[in-house]
Structure 1
Amino acid sequence: MKRILLPIAILLFSVSSFANGLKIENIRYLSKADTKGDVFVVFDLHWKNAWKNARNNDAAWVFFKFPGRNGDRHAKVAANGHSQIDLFNEAASGIRFDVPDERTGLYVSPFANFRGDVSWRVKVRLETEGLDDRLRSVPPKVFGVEMVYIPKGPFSLGDKDPKATDYGAFYKSDSAGAPDGHIRIDSEAAIAVGPNSGSLYYKKATYVGDQSGPVPATFPKGFESFYLMKYELTQGQYAEFLNSIPDSSTFSRSNFVGRSYYQNKGTIRLEGNEFIAGKPERPMNFMTWDDGLAFADWAGLRPMTELEFTKAARGPGLPGRNEFPWGTADTDQIARIVNSNNDLTMARHLSESDLNDETLPIFGASEYWVMDLAGSVWERVITIGSADGRAFTGSTGDGNINSKNDDWPYNDAGKKGHGYRGGGFYHQRRSEHEFNPYSPIAYRRFGGWSGGDAHMAYGFRCAGNAPSNMENREGN
């Protein structure tokens, strides 16, 4: 039986959890200040419908923050020293810990093939550099976000239907700028853009981009592995974010003063000194692009690019005709809907435990089992249709929203570097069309438009960098 040595200080503190079934509880802070100097956090981690198969897996992105009088301070994790604690001498199911190079958190996932609910006791070692005596005695908060691992590999841009190019779809150009097939992304090398044979190109239209390039080698294209939030950012997650940042920052990040906010799916309110989400699992709306970037920065994550959006939605296969992320060109089977109460739900009482490669059109899930890449709320992405977007290099946030990343196209800095993909649900009285609520993968009618902030149908989803060497995995 494994034993845990009692530390010099053991501090028990409250539960921290996020929506979509992921829960973190029974948190203990182990500070060995007088002996080895190590600092550990032990907690129970649960979420539903986890999986690992031959293709990919889901994971919990776990990060830590020390509470302070003027907002929480982000804590880095150590590069190694993390483990699963085997309770009651039972056989441990096996956990994999993936620590990205930035060490702003870590991914926790099944080590071997698995399908079902997980309930693990986890021990994480924190980085001790910069921890003074106060922080060694103050228990950190623990946060978690469910992510999906998108594996390294080639994929394609485009659509087999020529009509898709009228909606900004990418294509391989001939020598005159006309469509000549799809574009295959088989590396992270720079991509030529223009009306030249073999280059990436798209028709000129309002809101699709400047038709310029190249797309630099440093721009994340989706060929290399990365992580993506399984679900869009929720109102519960955003309320947790607001409760963690400095009070002065909440004045610019809480955009809930419009008369129709609560009539259009918004549920966040301020009670005393705490932000509360009435519907914590409802997708976050009425947020600006910069609000989304602030959340990503706070969580140690980053925005996704529109090429990563395509990779996560389509997978390695070739483009079809007007295909959605679930692999068909229609929405007849989909049961993932916004119901009459404005809640995103599964009709007919379906459970995600029934999600598999054959039921993707029912659950509205992508090739990699990412949910809601079409429908729900619009996905905001870094566009390749502007110089500000193409300057993005994939840097992640450091947990401090006051230190901005130079490569991120913040609107308040006058940059125009994002666009919209995937479609979104507006309201109950609006008929369905090409962009409401579901939009095919390749359609990018607004793929280069950086306007339209704080709207009922616009949301956000974070990406995360995988470790530079995914073969160096620490399992237990």
Structure 2
Amino acid sequence: MNSSKKLKILLLLFFFASLNLLKANNLQITSVSLINKNTVDDYLYVQFNISWDNSWRISTGAQNWDAAWVFIKFRVNGGEWQHASLSNIDNEHVVPSGVDVDATSDGRGIFLYRSTTGSGNNNWPAVQFKWLYGNDGVADNTTNIEIKVFGIEMVYVNEGPFYLGDGASVGRFWNTGDVNTNPAYISNTPIIVKCENTSLDDTQLEGDGILVDGDGGIDMDGTTSVDNSNFPTGYRAFYCMKHEISNKQYAEFLNTLTRAQQQARTYRDISGVPVLYPFPMNRNAQITSRNCIRYSNPSGGTAEPVYFFCDLNDNGVEGDDDDGENIALCYMGWPDGCAYSDWAGLRPMTELEFEKACRGPENAIPYEFAWHTTNIYNVEYTFDASNGVGTVNSYPNNPGTGTQANVQWQYTTGHDTQHDAPLRVGMFATSSSDRVNSGASYYGILDLSGTMSERCVTLGKSQGRSFQGTHGDGLLSVAPLNPGDATNTDWPGLNDNTIQTPQGSGLRGGDWNDGVNGLYVSNRSLAAEDIYVPANVGPGTQFVS
């Protein structure tokens, strides 16, 4: 990765700008415009304002920061949406004072974050990203360009050693050179890791174990020498999404796909006109577990993409405050999550990265949660109409206080018909909440215990151990391949050159409907379970870079 800032000027294009308001911590991107076109070198600038709440950069403790991962989609003359190629040179982008830029080498997106220590709300006007439109086949005289700028809140996880397993949880990892009640220490010194029996992991991991070299990769097949140096062990630095993917984020993803691609990423058939099922994301074709993504019937036939929006109050109107936009998405299978990750230029995380993201370098505690204690709030949350479960800023009347950690799990969300479903992502993070009260990890990542289970690349199957950690390129498959799939051939679930099955993935961290055992950081009872969904409503996910 690199970083970014500024360059030149010339003329203005006629364009449509789409505003993407994502309010988990109120990330907003507004005032999008295209400026300073250079027809000699075929670039221009995409200008926008970006803001979000409860941001930080700290120089003690975790010594990390939160960031916005920003990427751009465009289309010409109402055609298909494409991913914009941005300059991978940091200082060719323009940002206000106090902002750092980290442009990725592939030009798929850019990280924006504070350049100095501090906390509070970010409000950064007139950010300018250099778009290399010539690289995307856009002609100099093209005028009818529509732009969408997307932002995802992320958290930086530092490079360094960490503990794997807690010495107690089901299926936990441990070092074969030690007793199974001690965690494994992942560093730049290779060790052989195995797991307690789950009946789901293969005989390699449960038997002889897998060699893990923190900064060197893994041994996939038990030869005790590294043969996958690119496997993300968690030792190297990475970014993780700050919270689970929301209904709104997935609807916006669907709205940049072709009709055939949309069909692959919804559960019910949407190929006809009219579309028969108003809520096509689950088998019930109605609002279920607060999955409230609804379609608007296309007027132009079966080839025209369907428009999706959130409609938890079921009145057919988009944009109401109680439409459930920020509720955690459920009914998302592994192929769906991989498609979103590829589209966004991110990648799935491994289960080793999951444990690193939870506990950081801290010692493992038996049966600990992501907030590094064994305390958990167990009273069902209540809500008023003004802050109801589907509202943009939903928050309970009776949150846990003191040492009782707030989290979405069976006792707080699953005891009656009103709350038997996930709630708002990142709900408990406020300007005054601490790690325990917000249910946050060592690094400040939310929703890792509870809310939705994390779909991770497993160490317990050969398909998972083949993962090379490549990032998405922003483009999904098209015919003659199965349309709408991720295309990274090293990702688990590969079938006919696209990601179509869950083989090599599994679940970590538990969900809103789980009992307490499922929420333990080191519980691996489903870590190698090939769950398809949507028969199981639990899985969501958080992606990494």
TM-score normalised by length of structure 2? 0.74
Could you tell me which residue of structure 1 aligns to residue 49 of structure 2? 44
Q: Per the alignment, do residues 18 and 345 of structure 1 end up closer, same or farther by CA in structure 2, a change over 3 Å counting?
A: closer
Instruction: Name the SS of the counterpart of 1:244 in structure 2.
Output: coil
Instruction: Name the SS of the counterpart of 2:112 in structure 1.
Output: strand
Instruction: Name the SS of the counterpart of 2:159 in structure 1.
Output: coil
Deviations 1:102-140 (A, max 9, x none): 221000011111211111121111234243217953242
- 1:277 corresponds, among 310, 313, 334, to 310
Letter in 2 for 1:270: Y
Could you tell me which residue of structure 2 aligns to residue 144 of structure 1? 151
Residue 59 of structure 2 corresponds to residue 56 of structure 1: no
Residue 542 of structure 2 corresponds to residue 461 of structure 1: yes
Using the TM superposition, name which of 69-78 and 304-313 deviates more: 69-78
**Aligned residues with identical type, % of pairs:** 29
Could you tell me which residue of structure 2 aligns to residue 108 of structure 1? 112
Could you tell me which residue of structure 1 aligns to residue 524 of structure 2? 444
Could you tell me which residue of structure 2 aligns to residue 179 of structure 1? 180
CA distance, structure 1, for counterparts of residue 200 and residue 473 of structure 2: 31
CA distance, structure 2, for counterparts of residue 62 and residue 346 of structure 1: 19
CA distance, structure 1, for counterparts of residue 331 and residue 141 of structure 2: 35
Instruction: Name the SS of the counterpart of 1:266 in structure 2.
Output: coil
Q: Give every structure 1 segment of 4 or more consecutive aligned residues whose post-TM-superposition deviation is greater than 6 Å.
A: none
Q: Per the alignment, do residues 353 and 27 of structure 1 end up closer, same or farther by CA in structure 2, a change over 3 Å counting?
A: same
CA distance, structure 1, for counterparts of residue 69 and residue 368 of structure 2: 30
Instruction: Name the SS of the counterpart of 2:204 in structure 1.
Output: coil
Q: Per the alignment, do residues 136 and 96 of structure 1 end up closer, same or farther by CA in structure 2, a change over 3 Å counting?
A: farther
Q: Give 1:334 shift.
A: 2.1
- Equivalence map 1:424-439=2 (5 Å): 424-426=511-513, 432-435=515-518, 439=519
Letter in 1 for 2:507: Y
CA distance, structure 2, for counterparts of residue 257 and residue 180 of structure 1: 41
Q: Give 1:160 shift.
A: 3.7
- Equivalence map 1:75-114=2 (5 Å): 75-80=84-89, 81-85=92-96, 92=97, 94-114=98-118
Q: Per the alignment, do residues 209 and 136 of structure 1 end up closer, same or farther by CA in structure 2, a change over 3 Å counting?
A: farther
Q: Per the alignment, do residues 346 and 29 of structure 1 end up closer, same or farther by CA in structure 2, a change over 3 Å counting?
A: closer
- Equivalence map 1:236-315=2 (5 Å): 236-255=248-267, 256-259=281-284, 261-272=286-297, 273-278=306-311, 279-315=324-360
Letter in 1 for 2:195: Y
Could you tell me which residue of structure 2 aligns to residue 420 of structure 1? 507
Q: Per the alignment, do residues 275 and 398 of structure 1 end up closer, same or farther by CA in structure 2, a change over 3 Å counting?
A: same
Asked if the contact 1:66/1:135 (under 8 Å) is kept, the reply is no
Using the TM superposition, name which of 253-262 and 112-121 deviates more: 253-262
Could you tell me which residue of structure 1 aligns to residue 399 of structure 2? none
Instruction: Name the SS of the counterpart of 1:362 in structure 2.
Output: helix
- 1:384 corresponds, among 454, 459, 472, to 459
CA distance, structure 2, for counterparts of residue 49 and residue 225 of structure 1: 22
Deviations 1:186-237 (A, max 9, x none): 13x8x5xxxxxx5211123322444334343221011111110001111100
Residue 17 of structure 2 corresponds to residue 17 of structure 1: no
Q: Give 1:344 shift.
A: 2.1
Q: Give 1:146 shift.
A: 0.5
Could you tell me which residue of structure 1 aligns to residue 223 of structure 2? none
Could you tell me which residue of structure 1 aligns to residue 277 of structure 2? none
Letter in 1 for 2:537: M
Could you tell me which residue of structure 2 aligns to residue 131 of structure 1? 137
CA distance, structure 1, for counterparts of residue 370 and residue 176 of structure 2: 24
CA distance, structure 1, for counterparts of residue 512 and residue 260 of structure 2: 32
CA distance, structure 1, for counterparts of residue 39 and residue 501 of structure 2: 50
Letter in 2 for 1:277: C
Letter in 1 for 2:526: F
Could you tell me which residue of structure 1 aligns to residue 230 of structure 2? 218
Q: Give 1:38 shift.
A: 2.8
Q: Per the alignment, do residues 434 and 131 of structure 1 end up closer, same or farther by CA in structure 2, a change over 3 Å counting?
A: same
Could you tell me which residue of structure 2 aligns to residue 88 of structure 1? none
CA distance, structure 2, for counterparts of residue 244 and residue 345 of structure 1: 24
Q: Give 1:271 shift.
A: 1.5
Asked if the contact 1:60/1:147 (under 8 Å) is kept, the reply is yes
Instruction: Name the SS of the counterpart of 1:83 in structure 2.
Output: coil
Instruction: Name the SS of the counterpart of 1:41 in structure 2.
Output: strand
Letter in 1 for 2:487: K
Deviations 1:148-183 (A, max 9, x none): 11111111112143xx2xx100011148xx526321
Letter in 1 for 2:160: G
Could you tell me which residue of structure 2 aligns to residue 201 of structure 1? 194
Q: Per the alignment, do residues 157 and 271 of structure 1 end up closer, same or farther by CA in structure 2, a change over 3 Å counting?
A: same
Instruction: Name the SS of the counterpart of 2:516 in structure 1.
Output: coil
Asked if the contact 1:31/1:37 (under 8 Å) is kept, the reply is no
Could you tell me which residue of structure 2 aligns to residue 404 of structure 1? 487
CA distance, structure 2, for counterparts of residue 327 and residue 350 of structure 1: 16
Using the TM superposition, name which of 215-224 and 10-19 deviates more: 10-19
Instruction: Name the SS of the counterpart of 2:539 in structure 1.
Output: coil
Residue 117 of structure 2 corresponds to residue 117 of structure 1: no
Asked if the contact 1:11/1:28 (under 8 Å) is kept, the reply is no
Asked if the contact 2:166/2:181 (under 8 Å) is kept, the reply is no
Asked if the contact 1:157/1:185 (under 8 Å) is kept, the reply is yes
Over the residues paired in the alignment, what is the CA RMSD in angstroms? 2.6
Instruction: Name the SS of the counterpart of 1:204 in structure 2.
Output: coil
Deviations 1:314-364 (A, max 9, x none): 1011211211110101214123436544452599x9651113xxx212111
Q: Per the alignment, do residues 262 and 60 of structure 1 end up closer, same or farther by CA in structure 2, a change over 3 Å counting?
A: same
CA distance, structure 2, for counterparts of residue 10 and residue 315 of structure 1: 47
Asked if the contact 2:163/2:364 (under 8 Å) is kept, the reply is yes
Q: Give 1:61 shift.
A: 0.4
CA distance, structure 1, for counterparts of residue 185 and residue 251 of structure 2: 40
Letter in 2 for 1:299: A
CA distance, structure 1, for counterparts of residue 93 and residue 176 of structure 2: 49
Q: Per the alignment, do residues 350 and 181 of structure 1 end up closer, same or farther by CA in structure 2, a change over 3 Å counting?
A: closer
CA distance, structure 2, for counterparts of residue 334 and residue 141 of structure 1: 37
Runs of 5+ consecutive residues of structure 2 not aligned to the other structure: 1-5, 211-218, 221-227, 268-280, 298-305, 312-323, 378-403, 478-485
Q: Per the alignment, do residues 210 and 318 of structure 1 end up closer, same or farther by CA in structure 2, a change over 3 Å counting?
A: same
Using the TM superposition, name which of 100-109 and 15-24 deviates more: 15-24
Letter in 1 for 2:130: R
Q: Per the alignment, do residues 371 and 135 of structure 1 end up closer, same or farther by CA in structure 2, a change over 3 Å counting?
A: farther
Could you tell me which residue of structure 2 aligns to residue 228 of structure 1? 240
Asked if the contact 1:168/1:202 (under 8 Å) is kept, the reply is yes
